[in-house]
């Protein structure tokens, strides 16, 4: 039997870890340079265990939703 999500250790423990993964996903999906990307806002949802990172560069803005336990990107949404 595996532990419940509340008992599992989070892989994305800090805001810095979450921002790093978000930037990596954006660099992989969009043709841009890491120096141009700015962190606009970060939020951690305690109930779901997800990180939301808003990033921006040039005229683009995206929100990256990530699972903190699995350390994977769930969705990248342009706004």
pLDDT at position 47 is 87
pLDDT at position 1 is 44
Give the mean pLDDT of 59-78.
94
pLDDT at position 56 is 97
The model carries a pTM of 0.84
**DSSP notation for the chain:** -PPPTTTSPPS--SHHHHHHHHHHHHHHHS---GGG-EEEEEEEETTTTEEEEEEEETTEEEEEEEETTTTEEEEEEE-
pLDDT digits (tens, 9 = 90+) for 1-50: 455 555 556 688 899 999 999 999 999 999 899 999 999 999 999 888 89
């Amino acid at each position: 039997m595996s532990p419940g999500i509340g008992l599992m250790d989070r892989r994305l423990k800090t805001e810095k870890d979450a921002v790093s993964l978000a930037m990596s996903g954006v660099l992989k999906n969009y043709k841009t340079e890491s120096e141009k990307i700015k962190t606009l806002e970060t939020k951690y949802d305690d109930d779901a265990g997800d990180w939301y990172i808003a990033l921006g560069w040039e005229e683009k803005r995206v929100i990256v939703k990530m699972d903190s336990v699995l350390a994977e990107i769930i969705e990248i949404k342009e706004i």
